[in-house]
Amino acid sequence: MPTRKIYERPVIKKLEGNMPNKFGMRSAHEPTQSIEGHAVKDLINEFGSPLFVISEKKLRKNYRNARQAFQTRYPKVQFAWSYKTNYLDAVCNIYHQEGSWAEVVSGFEYDKAIRNGVPGSKIIFNGPDKTDSDLRKAITNNSLIHIDHLDELYMLQDIARESKMRPRVAIRVNMDTGVYPMWDRFGFNYENGQAWDALNKIMFSGLMDLVGLHTHIGTFMLSPNAYAVAASKLAHLAQSLLNKYNHEIKYIDIGGGFASKNTLKGSYLPGSDVSPSIHDFAEAIASALMNSDYRPKTPPVLVIESGRALIDDAAWLLGTVLANKRLSDGRRATILDIGVNTLFTAFWYDHLITPAQPITSYTEDTALYGPLCMNIDVVRENVNLPLLNRGDHVVVHHVGAYNMTQWLQFITLRPNVLLIDEEGGKHLIRRAESLDTITSQEIMPAHLAHFDL
């Protein structure tokens, strides 16, 4: 008997006249069979599916590239790692080894940074939710407290007065940078004078050291020019302080929000084509500061809290096809073991997803769904992919930011997270959760401990 040919599912696809596809180009379907020298199949065999894989080499490369982009344009630059973007200890420590401070937005993140060994004076404490005890701890540790609202400012004054300690503070400023929606929920507004008001209150109180000015104008920003506007507005406030109080601030913190190379949902073009490079952002910010009317004796340090742009493309999520289905309207649907529980950013992005095994040239349009028993569990509404069979593996790209902090413990448990070091060595940096992980937090009242069925 002649040897049988390799099987491929039968497909028939309608040809859409002579319309090119959405992007006027053929979608690339190169399979991703290995990551950092390790076969996807082997990684899944060893560590299970789904599995997050992070590249230490890529993390460091991204960081050094960003640092270089800023340092070649501005004399004093300091990065502060945005913990909320990914606060796995191993990831944070890579950034700390590279020289990054910590930027945290809650007591929990603050404690995590301290636990990692970050000196208190190198922790930037942002966010609207700082408790009295958080603030006392931050003051004692000499941390940089970024005041978000007037209630916090008054709370700090009270603590300072009573404890005789001088908090080191900055204010967060929100402003019109020509980008909408404007993030005016956080901090003090520039245009209506709130920010200047708050600065005057701090200076008049004499109870705090005003060391910086901070803004974070939004997230996944595609416009370098918005940062130029933000930087010059902060520089203008700094000059006003110099004029009125002869007071020089030590740093200007421009926040984060630089777009990564992901593709926003509904975006016509892929993010790899439209997202500016870190050099574009650096150029806009540095030249705005250098050309501003701020003329201090010592130029302020430029602090950068970039998160997603430094980490998104340094991590992948590996998964497995559970089933193929046909929806009632004839569309095809593929069910993966990856859902919005593990891939939270599927709510924002049309993630690039590639097969992990050799493919043929036939493709089909399919919806990608996760394993959750919910309608919202959509990984991709409609994507053109080579034919996938049950048991095949897929690779989701650019998943480093916000997934390993916003993932949901719903119905199922969170998977392993693997770090591949610069020599290719594998390190499990977060163990998959077990039933115990969840139940160890639960307490059973005695009268509910038994039942008969």
Partner 1 sequence: MKIKSNIAISDNGFVFNPVTGESFTANPTGLEIMNQMRRGASAPQIVETLCNMFQVEPTQAERDLQDFIEMMRQYHLLTYDEE
Ligand X SMILES: Cc1ncc(COP(=O)(O)O)c(C=O)c1O
Cα–Cα distance, 152 to 159 (Å, whole number): 10
Rule CB under 6 A: say whether 187 interacts with ligand X.
no
362 binds, among ligand X, partner 1, none (CB under 5 to 8 A by kind): partner 1
Nearer to ligand X, 55 or 345 (CB): 345
Nearer to ligand X, 308 or 414 (CB): 308
Task: Tell me the closest approach of the beta carbon of residue 256 to ligand X, in angstroms.
Answer: 3
**How large is the greatest C-alpha to C-alpha distance in the chain, in angstroms?**
94
Cα–Cα distance, 281 to 447 (Å, whole number): 61
Cα–Cα distance, 362 to 332 (Å, whole number): 14
Instruction: Evaluate whether 78 touches 304 at the Cβ level (below 8 Å).
Output: yes
82 binds, among ligand X, partner 1, none (CB under 5 to 8 A by kind): ligand X
The amino acid that residue 338 corresponds to is I
450 binds, among partner 1, ligand X, none (CB under 5 to 8 A by kind): none
DSSP class per residue in 372-435: SSSTT-EEEEEEEEE---TT-EEEE----SSHHHH---SSS---EEEEE-TTS-EEEEEPPP-H
Number of residues that bind ligand X (CB under 6 A): 16
Give residues in contact with partner 1 (CB under 8 A). 4-15, 324, 326, 330, 360, 362, 389
Rule CB under 6 A: say whether 416 interacts with ligand X.
no
Nearer to partner 1, 18 or 133 (CB): 18
Nearest to 55 by CA among 41, 34, 24, 25: 34
Rule CB under 6 A: say whether 305 interacts with ligand X.
yes
307 binds, among ligand X, partner 1, none (CB under 5 to 8 A by kind): ligand X
443 binds, among ligand X, partner 1, none (CB under 5 to 8 A by kind): none
Nearer to ligand X, 47 or 79 (CB): 79
Task: Tell me the closest approach of the beta carbon of residue 258 to partner 1, in angstroms.
Answer: 42
Cα–Cα distance, 292 to 414 (Å, whole number): 48
Nearer to ligand X, 224 or 355 (CB): 224
344 binds, among partner 1, ligand X, none (CB under 5 to 8 A by kind): none
Task: Tell me the closest approach of the beta carbon of residue 3 to partner 1, in angstroms.
Answer: 9
Nearest to 73 by CA among 222, 269, 231, 289: 289
Task: Tell me the closest approach of the beta carbon of residue 334 to partner 1, in angstroms.
Answer: 12
Q: What angle separates helix 132-140 from helix 150-163, to the nearest 10 degrees?
A: 60
Cα–Cα distance, 309 to 85 (Å, whole number): 10
Nearer to ligand X, 64 or 244 (CB): 64
For binding to ligand X (CB under 6 A), which residues are involved? Answer: 82, 85, 103, 126, 216, 219, 255-258, 305-309, 401
